[in-house]
Amino acid sequence: MGGDGMGSMAMPPPPRHAAPSRMPMMHMSFFWGDRAVVLFPGWPGARGAGAYLLCLLFVLALAALTEALAAASRCVARRRAAAAAVPASSAALLTAAHAARMGTAYLVMLAVMSFNAGVLLAAVAGHALGFLLARSRVHPGGSSAAAARDREHGAGGGPPPDGASKA
């Protein structure tokens, strides 16, 4: 036993000829290029511009879905607040919509952490598109924001304020 008091508990030295790592080096700053690794090992990787474009469309759709789920959860929450009796199914639906929204939001965040500028732009464009379609009330069949605000505050449909009668 040596004088260090450790006996045979000393750590062996690291091997001198360790096998090279097969993991690609992760970028630590934004870069342009179609050889990014996004969400999964080797995807899209070096598969070419077509796979990279598919990846960008996937990130864009995921970000748009995040905004649509946010709008859906707000709609369910408004209906739940307006109802006199709250069914348990609306609580379960609200919880499921929130869980799905958080899952998609984290996937978009992880995709952006690839530090690929194209993926970042696709995520921002997806959030913008999702907001435009689901929450800005510009799409056909939707109502204006003022009409929605009036419905929320009872304007036009409820009893008149201060007991005044309608003409």
Model pTM greater than 0.85? no
Residue 150 lies in a domain: no
Tell whether 124 is covered by a domain.
Answer: yes
pLDDT of residue 164 exceeding 50: no
Residue 122 lies in a domain: yes
Q: Does residue 28 lie in a domain region?
A: no
Amino acid at 157: G
Closest CA to 62 of 109, 96, 19, 23: 109
Q: Supply the range of the domain harboring residue 69.
A: 49-139
Helix residue ranges per DSSP H, 3-87: 49-82
pLDDT at 59: 98
**What pLDDT is recorded for position 16?**
67
Domain contains 153: no
Residue 87 lies in a domain: yes
- Count of the separate structural domains present in the chain: 1
More reliable by pLDDT, 142 or 112: 112
Ordered alpha helix ranges (H), 84-116: 88-112
Q: CA 78, 82, 84: angle at the middle one, nearest 5?
A: 140
Q: Is residue 106 part of a domain?
A: yes
Strand partners for 71: none
Q: Is residue 36 part of a domain?
A: no
- Three-state secondary-structure class, residue 60: helix
Contact between 101 and 66 (Cβ < 8 Å)? yes
Q: What is the mean pLDDT of residues 132-149?
A: 63
pLDDT at 2 over 70: no
Q: The dihedral of CA 25, 26, 28, 33: what is its sign? A: positive
Neighbours of 123 (CB within 10 A): 21
pLDDT(124) > 80: yes
Report which residue type is found at 155.
Answer: A
Number of alpha carbons in the 13 Å side-chain half-sphere of residue 63: 24
Expressed in angstroms, the distance from the first to the final Cα of the chain is: 103
Return phi, psi of residue 6, to 5°: -90, -20
For residues 44 and 55, give the distance between their C-alpha atoms in angstroms, rounded to a whole number.
7
